[in-house]
Structure 1
């Protein structure tokens, strides 16, 4: 039996940083230094367990690990939480910070402070966490730790006098950093004699054990075999097993005590029984108040996801349910489309989130899927005074019934080298951005703040930003509410029929150019038929752009050698009548590439 370590020797901390500043590599070094994983089992980014994380080199899921550390003959427990850096997964960051007492703020010694660094710091400050500034990658030739520390104080206004300089790649400065964590991160507060109160901050589905909950215990303790109550559902369940998180294999235990982090196995078959942000307490002597959870994530971007094989609809529903347990920011509801059959209207936190979810569904559940163009949520005030929220352009009321359409805006924070400011202003103005402020952090780096419609950044804004600034600018956004906009619904008609999944909502002044670009792209994508196919873009009943897919010619006069011209004419007239009849009853299949053509409209 391992000896009990007092609560005052527990340290719960997260690692936060901008994407690519070395969080996962530093986590590897800390795990290695504490000896939680042997050198033989060690791999790069040991905390990134998904294939998709390893391939893309990004962290998608926050991961936890329990480490034992001895300092001056005293034993400590370090609970480390590695968080994602990408803007779309900032929800994972806020959840991890809710269960921590301190945070390592990592900044790249060459790149300096980035947009996401600032966003994560504010989440940490809101949670009253002790911040430890850490400058990473000091082994790089371009490293300039003094400049970076100056930027930290200038851009964020935190005191960086007590800081650590490390190289996560070589391990330089890591032992000193672990000592600083022990000294500076406060021990967890909590009453071990009070009724149990534990926050579920992550959950996932295991094929053998069912739904698992990763919890931080704030008061009391959880014992194996005890009956526990999930406060949100008011259901009681028996604790079948308890484990401490470890990237190689979880470590079994009989009890998770105050201030500790652990995995609770309740043998649940369904994913609805445990919600992230819920509180677990003892069934006999429940706590009066749940832990103040965190706001549920609100999806910003919606897209239809449909199985290519229509009989896989139930498989897709099952896959989405299982994925929702592991990614609580996902939301979905069934919808059907004339062109694509039955599928789900799915809500995401951003474009990368959408890509990752689609890829995970295809890989982990072996599905072939098609996603429609993403849209955002609009609020529509109708002429009768009622208000409706729409996620799908096809739900937009008739133009004569609309009083005002309100669209969501975000506050975008962009950090860029000075030479790209001109290009960025052009890009942001073309996307209807409104400049709020522009600050020079030093002679080379500029912080820009813009209010910009969400609709303008969901498509390909991030790619455009990166190509405009040669990859040097960083970008972060947060929602700031709805504002009225002059918007119209652009419908696409193929052979006279509206294809509902191709409808998009666009600013009125851009409708004609977008419509023209769209029909020209579709003209290349829709295969030629035996009759001419008209592709039109329309607003209501008003057609604003048109293009034709030429018919495939069949040479009906091939067998007429010379002779009377009237014979040829008769055959051609017969063919013409046949094509007219086919046009009236012929159906045109819209290929899948057409649904993704919307994404490339601006290019």
Structure 2
């Protein structure tokens, strides 16, 4: 009874209302033609996770409990922020006209920074539910996800969500969908209340094809996701493309050529449900006794040892666009932080990592992300899931510099930026941004893009009051505060999507920060020459306010091309050495003051400025004048 009571408290605490879903022979071993693999794609906050909850309730994987909200958003950061950052899989049994089906659903993120998660999820599917908010209509990421699904050859089923809202514009949104994908039956549902959600499952079965694999061919499995568990090691999520696999079988990685024995396997329903066989077309987890995170490569093909099966091409490599350096706050925390970073990157394969060193912060890593939100989520997960205390340097983009000797180098950090006398030209990364907003904000949006060196490419109306504007922008301008300004000038109605579109020649400068004449590489930045002075001044002013006063004077300077452009001074703490002199000869006071002056002069020469770690964090979001 005590165990039952503890389980009941645990379930209420985490708001998880799973029903016991037995993987019996009657439903998980359905024929291949009765398997459907599909995902839900949409713009952020259009109701993907809520719709997934209703589908799980309809198939019996989740109890009908009012407390069940976004069950597949299992990460603490997802529940805290109310967004999906990690694609999650659930296998659902379903019976239609007396015939049993196995539906494998993948709930995908909606923010542009996690588009790599969406692309990997599409590789395991044959169809997608394209979800559109009945009030917001088609947004930038809606278009991007639809194009990703079409490029992957998926069947797309359009769904309008939140039709229960008083300000829902169902007819207008239906017209937008027809303009985007052509004439197609559109399902109108309310995921919050479950209205007409039951009609989606028959549509999935009728409009989405079964997996195309061959059960009689040699085994081939694609590794689409993995995560680390303390007692199991690396847990791999596979989609079985050809053949079947059973408990206790051996597998071989085509990438590392290492062999493994299956310790356990099963389906996610959404809890781990063991099975004895994974058949062609199914998506399930497998533990292989793999404890080295470097052995798991997303996109790797696993086959039977000695098989002549050809490996799959895998996924396109992730291309990070924003770089930041990460360091432990204390030197003794390096080993635990290294382990935490490796385990987290195992769960987020889109993060690029390489070792780096800093004269002021020590040994760390240079990480590449898909955007500022991606970087912020990674930092929060490190702190919450692994209790890591870290320092992130200011984000920067990757430049290309053509030197006068004919060579070309890639500049990831300001410390790698070459001297101006050695450089022929510098190229900065550009993005093609798609902005969606009501037409009443058109003038403000055009002015905002001009302020950020944007080049307007196209403006078109997708409805009588909704505008899509395409603008070419420098990526370096976007990573500072462009998104915040976008939301401000549009009263929160504007949405943004962007994609990398190559490099262009730009007039950029490296702004160096010197403290008492010593350059601080972790505080340097690269910016456009028109803003270089203001950026240097802003950093110096922030440092003057953040660095505590010490026993000697601290001089903070910004340098551009070895020329000092701005200076701030932190006055030294001064003890009143004449306080003990009560009257008497003035020469005694002068002697004490001269001795103090000589001491401070010597201390300034040999003293080391103590910079608190939170000073580096204060530079992440700069206010440029």
Category of TM-score, reference length = shorter chain: over 0.9
Partners in 1 of 2:431 and 2:147 — Cα distance? 17
SS at match of 1:329: coil
For residues 448 and 298 of structure 2, the distance between their equivalents in structure 1, rounded to whole angstroms, comes to 38
Compare 13-22 and 425-434 and name the one that shifted more: 425-434
From 82, 90, 112, the counterpart of 2:115: 90
8 Å CA contact 2:400–2:426 kept in 1: the answer is: yes
Give the counterpart of 1:314 among 330, 335, 342: 335
Match for residue 17 of structure 2? Answer: none
Deviation at 1:555, TM superposition (A): 1.9
**TM-score, normalised via structure 2 length:** 0.93
How far apart in 2 are the matches of 1:464 and 1:543?
31
Partner-residue secondary structure (3-state), 1:176: helix
5 Å-filtered alignment, 1:121-140, equals 121-140=146-165
Q: For the residues of structure 2 that align with 1:445 and 1:228, how far apart are their CA atoms?
A: 53
> Does residue 252 of structure 1 match 2:277?
no
Of 123, 136, 143 in structure 1, the residue corresponding to residue 168 of structure 2 is 143
Partner of 1:406: 427
Contact 1:15–1:106, Cα closer than 8 Å, also in 2:
yes
Instruction: Give the corresponding residue for 2:499.
Output: 478
Mapped pair 1:269 → 2:291: yes
Query: CA shift at 1:41, angstroms?
Result: 10
**Counterpart for residue 442 of structure 1:** 463
Using a 3 Å threshold, how does the CA distance of structure 1 residues 286 and 222 change in structure 2: closer, same or farther?
farther
Who is 1:194 aligned against?
A: 217
Aligned position for 2:247: 224
In the other structure, the counterpart of 2:231 is 208
What is the CA-CA distance between 1:161 and the residue it aligns to? 3.1
Partner in structure 1 of residue 12 of structure 2: none
Answer yes or no: is 1:497 the counterpart of 2:518.
yes
Contact 1:339 1:590 in 2 (8 A): no
5+ unaligned residues in a row in structure 2: which ranges? 1-23
**Residue 244 of structure 1 contacts residue 250 of structure 1 at CA under 8 Å; is this kept in 2?**
yes
One of 585, 597, 614 as aligned partner of 1:576? 597
The answer to whether the 8 A contact 1:64-1:81 is kept is yes
Structure 1 residues 566 and 42: alpha-carbon distance in aligned structure 2, compared to 1, 3 A threshold: closer
Cα distance in 1 for residues equivalent to 2:366 and 2:184: 49
Report the Cα offset of residue 548 of structure 1: 1.0
Structure 1 residue 118: Cα displacement: 0.8
In the alignment, the residues of structure 1 paired with residue 463 and residue 68 of structure 2 have an alpha-carbon distance, to the nearest angstrom, of 39
Contact kept, 8 Å, 1:518 with 1:597, in 2: the verdict is: no
Mean Cα displacement is larger for which, 125-134 or 439-448? 439-448
Distance 1:370 1:173 in 2: 49
Instruction: Give the Cα separation in 1 of the matches to 2:425 and 2:269.
Output: 53
**1:21 maps to 2:42:** no
Tell me how far 1:530 sits from its aligned partner: 2.1
Determine if the alignment matches structure 1 residue 185 to structure 2 residue 187. no
Alignment match of 1:287 (pick from 309, 312, 319): 309
- The residue aligned with 2:373 is 352
CA distance in 2, matches of 1:461, 1:439: 22
Superposed CA offset, 1:411-463 (max 9, x none): 11110112222222222222211111111222321111111111111222222
Whole-Å separation in 2 of the counterparts to 1:547 and 1:487: 24
Q: Does 2:624 align with 1:602? A: yes
DSSP-derived class of the 1:460 partner: helix
- Once the two structures are TM-superposed, the CA of residue 286 in structure 1 deviates from its matched residue by 3.5
Tell me the distance in 1 between the aligned counterparts of 2:535 and 2:618.
11
After superposition, where does 1:339-378 map in structure 2 within 5 Å?
339-378=360-399
Distance 1:591 1:420 in 2: 43
Q: Flag the 1:40–1:142 CA change in 2: closer, same or farther, 3 A.
A: closer
CA–CA distance in 1 between the matches of 2:224 and 2:485? 35
Residues 133 and 160, structure 1, Cα contact 8 Å, conserved in 2 = no
Q: Is the CA contact 2:538–2:622 (under 8 Å) kept in the aligned structure 1? A: no
Corresponding residue of 2:5: none
Q: How well do the aligned residues superpose, as a CA RMSD in angstroms?
A: 1.6
| Secondary structure of 1:559 counterpart | coil
Contact 1:239–1:265, Cα closer than 8 Å, also in 2? yes
Does the 8 Å CA contact 1:223/1:256 hold for their aligned counterparts? yes
Count of paired positions: 599
The answer on whether the counterparts of 1:488 and 1:508 sit within 8 Å (CA) in structure 2 is yes
In structure 2, distance between residues paired with 1:455 and 1:122: 26
1:59 paired residue number? 84
Separation (CA, whole Å) in 2 of partners of 1:563 and 1:438: 83
Is the contact between residue 227 and residue 284 of structure 1 (CA under 8 Å) also seen in structure 2? no
Residue 323 of structure 1 and its aligned partner are, at CA, apart by 1.1
* Distance across 2 between alignment mates of 1:62 and 1:41: 23
* Secondary structure, counterpart of 2:327 in structure 1: strand
Residue segments in structure 1 that go unaligned for 5+ positions in a row = none
C-alpha distance after superposition, 1:31-65 (max 9, x if no partner): 00110123469721111111111111111110000
8 Å contact from structure 1 (residues 196, 286) kept in 2: no
After TM superposition, the score normalised by the length of structure 1 is 0.96
